[in-house]
Amino acid sequence: MKKALHYSLALALASSIVLAGCSSNNNDSNASASDSSKAASGTPTNLEFWTFNELHQKFFESMTEKWNAAYPETPIKLTATTFPYDDAHNKLLVALQSGKGAPDLSDIEISKIGNYLKGDPQFVPLNDIVEPVKDKLVMSRLDNYAKDGKYYGIDYHVGAQVIYYNKEILDAAGVNADTIVTWDDFEAAGKLVLEKTGKPMTTVETTDQWTYWPMVVQHGSDFLDKDGNVTLNDQGNLDVLTYLQKLVKEKVAVAAPGGFHHAEEYYGFMNGGGAASIWMPMWYMGRFTDYMPDLKGKIIIKPMPVFKQGEMRSSGMGGTGTVITNQTKHADLAKKFLEFAKVSKEGNVEIWKQLGFDPIRTDAWTDPAMNEVNKYTDYFGTGIFTFLDSLKSEIAPTNIKERTPAVSDVIKTKAMFQALNDLKDPKAVLDDAAGSIK
Amino acid sequence: MSVRRFSPQTLLLLVLFVILGALALFPFYCLALASFKPSKELLRFGLNIKLQADLLSWNNYSFIFSAGGAKYITWYKNSLVITAVYTVLCMLLSSMVGYGLAMYRFFGRNLIFIFVLLVMMVPIEIIMLPLYKQMIALNLIDTFSGVILPFVVSPLPIFFFRQYAAGLPKDFLDAGRIDGCSEYGIYFRIFVPLMTPAFGAMIIVQALASWNSFVWPLIVLNSGEKLTLPIGLSSLVTPYGNNYDILIAGSVLAIVPIMLVFVFFQRYFVSGLTVGGVKG
Amino acid sequence: MKWMYSQRLAPYVFVLPFVLSLAVFFVYPVLSTFIMSFQEVLPGQTHFIGWANYENLWDESFYTALWNSSKYTFWTIVVLIPLPLVLAVFLNSKRMKWSGFFRSALFVPALTSVVVAGIVFRLVFGSLDASVMNSIRHLFGFETINWLASSTTGMLVLVILATWRYAGINIVYFMSALQSIPDELYESASIDGANTWQKFWRITLPLLKPISIYVITISIYGGYAMFTESFILWSGNRSPNDIGLTMIGLLYRHGIEKNELGLGSAIGVVLLTITMVINVIQLRLFGLFKKED
């Protein structure tokens, strides 16, 4: 027994030495991003970047290589780390609140940005890299990350809202997608599809906001107004929710299996030809290519229907902004690098090529490089950006404010489910929801 | 094998456990199967649990062990180091405290015990921010020590050892004193062996807890090369799409170390191996 | 050094690691949580707001969360203590064959990553006709239901997930405690003519009391601290009509998702008070604070 004790004590001791050894260690192994900068003349500046998406990390690493090739006199060594989604945001919040430990650059998802705009935003304003190219950017996407006239984040994409039709099902019902212009047309076509094929025209999310929100903003309203006041129960919201509930009651729409359009159950349902359409932002293309392989070549992308002629046919949904925290010691360099990676035309072309997103800089959309063959053109056909360019002036903005996380929460947990699953009176549902937000 | 070898009661028990075992293993079976298929197949038609020989391959696993999976191997190693160090230290320190609380009557005992319960019940989500500030002050941010030390004297095992020791005969304490053992000698030479089954159970449970711990390591660790397995695996899940390939195969492989710990240490609480002291 | 060996000092040496850990790592954070619960915590603008957080606490979602967590705790105690206890006794019995294999099989769920096990659970309890559980309902002539959409079935699935996951761990606790029961007790009971049932009732159960108290206590704590299971089952902290909202889920929603750390701290303090009160009462009932235990 004594032996065992000594052994375990020795182990404990040894391990504490191991531990002590760790604490002085600084990150120097993650150098892959800057290998190509060996020829650089200057000493590389360390920049730390946090994200919640591995693909964003790879994008920034490749942009670092390009930066170092273009500006050998001010090379960058990027230390990028991917954390889990929710926790990446918590971690950043903790670091910003305690005033220590935050990275130079970080990604913040749009539904979380409201938290960071409370009080004094702990970020570096980006006005000097945004304002010179104002006319070339979809500015509504930058307003989401702004407070008091200062821009704090640059988004990866527009997240243009579109509708994806399953052409095979439409053809079976004898419906031509191009004739669906208004939501009334959509409803009529839906009834036809239901009658001819027995399948629902579409699916609606009951525990998320991507079905409802785009329709609301394209109808000229929003959850919050420009000053951040709650408008969740105004007429615009009510019109949309009443319409959606009618579709469900008519069985033209069904609640998405699994509750939302990212549920595992949902992918299987759609892949098997479960419904004739789904409206989601452009970035949903990746879900088709990755999880619904059997629909390849059957999906066509069209503008959203409208409630009345003249309303916008798209909106900017979802998104992730890259910010520079005020704890950085290299604010100027970080800003220039961020401009290079996400504001320049070249950077925006790379965003499409590497990430498959519709970038925020519209003069990139017409670049010949945007028509190169990739997995998205294989799946959906070419001409994605020609189509998008035609919608350029019709992308309705959203109001992202401090109360956005609170509104999102009540939409996801209560309002959608009560109206579209429990089929409660839309007016009562929205009044309740709006009343619960303090 | 002939069924007649078993008595009816045994047979009944076996049937019961076969059913329970099958229920317990079903989700794991689905995952293990999915880990041998391309990720798209798992979701293609809802839950697909058919064995389709033509779809099975080692691709997901060979990817993990190729250059592309280098990250995964790093996470795995980090988790192994943290779990091993944590478990050893935790056993030593927590068992002492639990034993002290069970065996002695001393001023402040109930107060300390209340504090043990209190620390156990403080939700980590709520002390995250101040504890992080504390870590900055102690210079433990982005270190394994920062992950391990705050929780190494853990209330759960303290409480368990306290309860276990409370069930042991106190006569041994007096017997040890008469034999001239010091108080610590009594603990290490008499009670540690008596508590072997408790150590067996706690090593398994605490190694598991450390292996799966998520919230705190994530707050403390910053560098990509120090992240642990649960953090790494969760980072493959995002609102804009999941990387199911590595996620599923990776979590199947993640079972291995603690399963080995379980198989090895469970022998300490199996009948017939009880240390002699208790019988008497 | 001799003073360190005195009988009076020894207990303090034994509990020293805990006292140190408490002082270094927990006193400041716990105190600051209390302080934050009286503040509005904003980057750069933190200030005291008196009892406002505690006054704002009592809304509908608070009661929903408290009710859900209490129900969950109740059911996990009802299921997750007797079942593993009996299974542990079976697994420990000399009649049992392949006990090692079954022990391992029942322990595997505890090892399976919840993140991925959640995928399987969501699909098994899916809302489509083809999901495993709905197919089973069809066998008995029932219709398809949306398992994760109503409060009753949602709670059922949560308790099933908890049972699946934690039964193996509780079996480990009980198995280890069974080893401290001397065989002689059973032998002499047999001589007195006691049958298996009587032995279980008169020897096994009373002698498992200390460990049962432990399991009950951590189940109360674990029940009120439950969050992961709900988060996984509904792919986030957003169950329909809050049917899966728990106390920690509420704390997370305010303290983290909405960045109202002051309100979150107040919820934390209330939760801590509730679990402490329940546990201290329960432990007192079992006589844990008596001088002679």
pLDDT of B42 reads 67
Interface test with chain A among C120, C128, C228, by most A beta carbons within 10 Å: C128
Q: How far apart are CA A373 and CA C167, in angstroms?
A: 53
pLDDT of B275 reads 44
A332 shares a domain with A292: no
Interface test with chain A among C235, C245, C260, by most A beta carbons within 10 Å: C235
Cβ proximity of C162 and C110 under 8 Å: no
pLDDT of B46 reads 60
Enclosing H/E stretch for B209: helix B196-212
Q: Which of B140, B123, B143 is nearest to B215 (CA)?
A: B123
User: Domain holding A87: CATH number?
Assistant: 3.40.190.10
> Any idea which fold C57-285 has?
MetI-like fold (1.10.3720)
Q: How far apart are CA B212 and CA B214, in angstroms?
A: 6
Residues in C touching B168 (Cβ below 8 Å): 180
Residue A384 resides in a domain: no
Cβ proximity of A285 and A133 under 8 Å: no
Which of B28, B47, B94 is the closest to C123 by Cβ? B47
pLDDT-derived band of residue B271, with 50, 70 and 90 as boundaries?
A: low
pLDDT of A40 reads 44
Residue A113 resides in a domain: yes
Question: To the nearest whole percent, how much of chain A has pLDDT over 90?
Answer: 64
**C43 and A121: CB-CB below 8 Å?**
yes
Q: How far apart are CA C235 and CA C257, in angstroms?
A: 15
- The dihedrals phi and psi of A153, each to the nearest 5 degrees, come to -145, 150
A131 shares a domain with A245: no
Q: What angle do CA C238, C241, C244 make, to 5 degrees?
A: 55
Residue A127 resides in a domain: yes
How far CA A324 is from CA of A102, A108, B179, in Å, comes to 10, 11, 69
Q: What angle do CA B194, A6, B109 make, to 5 degrees?
A: 50
**C280 and B114: CB-CB below 8 Å?**
yes
pLDDT-derived band of residue B233, with 50, 70 and 90 as boundaries?
A: confident
pLDDT of A287 reads 87
How far CA B195 is from CA of A358, B184, B192, in Å, comes to 63, 15, 5
pLDDT of C4 reads 67
Q: Which of C255, A276, A374 is nearest to B125 (CA)?
A: C255
Would you call A51 helix, strand, or coil by DSSP? strand
Sign of CA dihedral B261, B264, B267, B273: negative
Residues in A touching C146 (Cβ below 8 Å): 255, 421
SS (H, E, C) A349-390: HHHHHHHCCCCCEHHHHCCHHHHCCCHHHHHHCCCHHHHHHH
pLDDT-derived band of residue A18, with 50, 70 and 90 as boundaries?
A: very low
Q: How many helices (H) and strands (E) does chain A have?
A: 20, 14
Q: CA A264 from chain center: how many Å?
A: 19
Q: A437 to chain C nearest CA, in Å?
A: 11
A296 shares a domain with A201: yes
pLDDT of B269 reads 77
Would you call A310 helix, strand, or coil by DSSP? coil
Mean pLDDT of A108-137: 91
pLDDT of A127 > 90? The answer is yes
* Nearest Cα residue in chain A from C259: A115
How many C-beta neighbours within 10 Å does residue C192 have? 9
Cβ proximity of C281 and C191 under 8 Å: no
Cβ proximity of A49 and A104 under 8 Å: yes
**A19 and B45: CB-CB below 8 Å?**
no
Cβ proximity of A349 and A370 under 8 Å: yes
Residue A297 resides in a domain: yes
Counted residue by residue, chain B has a size of 280
Interface of C with A in 128-167 (CB under 8 A): 128, 131, 146, 148-149
Residue A25 resides in a domain: no
Q: pTM of the prediction? A: 0.86
Residues in A touching B144 (Cβ below 8 Å): 18-19, 22-23
Question: To the nearest whole percent, how much of chain B has pLDDT over 70?
Answer: 89
By DSSP bridging, strand A105-109 and strand A45-51 are parallel
Q: B45 to chain C nearest CA, in Å?
A: 9
Which of C56, C128, C234 is the closest to A269 by Cβ? C128
Q: What is the CATH number of domain B69-278?
A: 1.10.3720.10
Beta strands in chain C, from DSSP E residues, in sequence order: 39-40, 47-48
Q: C165 to chain A nearest CA, in Å?
A: 21
A131 shares a domain with A78: yes
Cβ proximity of A157 and A359 under 8 Å: yes
Which of C126, C245, C256 is the closest to A258 by Cβ? C126
Enclosing H/E stretch for A279: strand A277-281
Which of B44, B81, B92 is the closest to A268 by Cβ? B44
Residue A62 resides in a domain: yes
pLDDT of B239 reads 64
pLDDT digits (tens, 9 = 90+) for A263-315: 888 998 999 999 999 999 999 998 898 889 899 999 999 999 999 999 999 99
Question: To the nearest whole percent, how much of chain A has pLDDT over 70?
Answer: 91
pLDDT-derived band of residue A39, with 50, 70 and 90 as boundaries?
A: very low
Mean pLDDT of A354-361: 90
**C173 and B233: CB-CB below 8 Å?**
no
pLDDT-derived band of residue A351, with 50, 70 and 90 as boundaries?
A: very high
A278 shares a domain with A267: yes
> In this complex, which chains have at least 3 CB pairs below 8 Å with chain B?
A, C
A245 shares a domain with A347: no
**A206 and C127: CB-CB below 8 Å?**
no
Question: To the nearest whole percent, how much of chain B has pLDDT over 90?
Answer: 42
pLDDT digits (tens, 9 = 90+) for B36-82: 887 667 666 666 667 777 778 888 888 888 877 788 899 999 999 99
pLDDT of C163 reads 94
Counted residue by residue, chain A has a size of 438
Q: How far apart are CA A207 and CA A261, in angstroms?
A: 9
pLDDT-derived band of residue B280, with 50, 70 and 90 as boundaries?
A: very low
**B225 and A291: CB-CB below 8 Å?**
no
Q: What is the mean pLDDT of chain A?
A: 88
Residue A210 resides in a domain: yes
**C18 and B112: CB-CB below 8 Å?**
yes
How many C-beta neighbours within 10 Å does residue A212 have? 22
pLDDT of C89 reads 92
**A283 and B189: CB-CB below 8 Å?**
no
**B20 and C102: CB-CB below 8 Å?**
yes
Q: Which of B216, B237, B17, A205 is nearest to C117 (CA)?
A: B237
Q: Residue A78: which domain range?
A: 36-155+318-379
Residue A9 resides in a domain: no
Which residues fall within 8 angstroms of residue C290, CB to CB, at 6 or more apart?
A: none
pLDDT < 70 regions, chain C: 1-4, 290-293
Residues in B touching A2 (Cβ below 8 Å): 188-189
How many C-beta neighbours within 10 Å does residue C48 have? 10
Any chain A CB within 8 A of the CB of B224?
Answer: yes
Structural domains counted in chain A: 2
Any chain A CB within 8 A of the CB of C127?
Answer: yes
pLDDT of C1 reads 55
A312 shares a domain with A346: no
Both tokens of residue B57?
Answer: 């391959």
- Where along chain B do its domains lie? 3-63, 69-278
pLDDT of A256 reads 95
Enclosing H/E stretch for C101: helix C99-111
pLDDT digits (tens, 9 = 90+) for C192-236: 888 888 999 999 999 999 899 999 999 999 999 999 889 889 988
pLDDT-derived band of residue B155, with 50, 70 and 90 as boundaries?
A: very high
pLDDT of A20 reads 33
pLDDT of A26 reads 38
